[in-house]
Amino acid sequence: MLSMKIPYLDDVIQLINDNEDLIAYNYKGKDNQLLMSKELVDAIYAFIEKNKPDNIDEKELLKVVIRQAFELSKNDVVVSRSGQIFIKIFDEKTKQDVKEKDVGTVAGRYNGFSEEELHDFYQEFFADEENKDFFQFIAKEFFQKYFVEHPINNEIYEKYVFSYIKQIIAEQLDAMYDDDNDGFFQGFSGYIFRIHFKEVFEHIADLMLYEISINNNYIIKFLKYYSLNILVVGGKKYKIPSLETEDGLRWNVVSMLSIAKVYTKSKKNLDKFKKEMNKIKKEMSQFYVEGLSPLEYNALAYDKITNLEKDIEDQKLELEKNYDSLELSTDENEDKKIKRDIIRIKSHTGTMVNQKREIFNSMISKARFHQYANLQKELESLQKEYKKEKKVILQNQKAYMSMRNSLVKALTEKRQLL
């Protein structure tokens, strides 16, 4: 795809040249970065749509056109974001070639790309809220593939765990950024894996502890390996990583089991209760009027009605005084004035009576109020259960974190030849 010939490439280049004001060169103060505005990208995209063959994907072709228009190398990165296109150019002189024998090793770290360049890309495209669950997803993918679909033993795990995880990260990055530069994302996967190394294994440890809590025999057997201390293979002795904390506390599968069962059960219940509470809150929100709950709305309505009733009574007294004054009046001009006041008071009283009726009619019906009250009781009941489970979590959290940390330590180490 990258090498395909674009017959209208000169027209695209002219379009870019005519709209250079829509390109941010030296983007973020880096002379090897530029950002194309959505307006320019849309214009190029529209041009491509008119001229492309029917069997070619427009988005894929757009990046090919841009790569050729800017004469980018295979090491340069083209990434779409919010309709804009970001281009990062890598100096061929600074990129180190990775020998075949060094691929996947420390010597081939970051696939030849500099840490500074990878850091810049990380800050621009990865260190944000939308990627907060990325490594939890990576851990789940790894666990599903190598502990569920194709279960591996401890030996295979120790040999390939880091490369397996790095490859899953690279595949996910490729799917996210939809760029042809596999080499860059191979390097970038290694960079972010190093930064979030502990986080990935914490998620994997959580998954393992959950599995032993439901008596997954395969995971139980896998974790028993870390209690062997010494293993003899082919006449050679190996020191096995242990489930030991920094303060010297040693765990084993038996001692982990009870804590894992209690903690993971409560954690699961917490998640369930939270989901149910959110669902009820959403249902309750449908009963709100003008941002007020039925109870608040009706209480406010009653206050308004009470105030109106008081004002109506005051107006009635005022009306009676005016009628009395009219009977006693002997002055024609005074009679006219009193009659005007009577008409005004009656009109104002009538308005208040109508307002009272409207407010009363707008009040939440008993049936809906009852529905809301039932939901509120259900929510309060769930909140009590939630607090109970939260208490169990807090009581066992220190022990759970201790054994999880010991497991993370074991999962990231390898057997040592004695």
pLDDT, one tens digit per residue, over 7-56 is 778 888 888 899 999 999 988 888 888 889 999 988 888 888 877 666 66
Q: How far apart are CA 305 and CA 270, in angstroms?
A: 44
Q: How far apart are CA 147 and CA 143, in angstroms?
A: 5
* pLDDT given at position 49: 80
Q: How far apart are CA 27 and CA 330, in angstroms?
A: 91
Q: How far apart are CA 345 and CA 330, in angstroms?
A: 22
Question: What DSSP character marks residue 186?
Answer: H
Instruction: Express each pLDDT in 125-143 by its tens digit.
Output: 776 666 788 999 999 999 9
Q: Where residue 110 falls among pLDDT bands split at 50, 70, 90?
A: low
Least confidently predicted of 88-97, 291-300, 378-387:
88-97
* pLDDT given at position 95: 47
* pLDDT given at position 56: 67
* pLDDT given at position 102: 43
Q: Is the pLDDT of residue 262 over 70?
A: yes
Q: Taking CA 398 as the corner, what is the angle to CA 397 and CA 399, rounded to the nearest 5 degrees? A: 90
Residues 6+ apart with CB under 8 A from 196: 135
* pLDDT given at position 1: 44
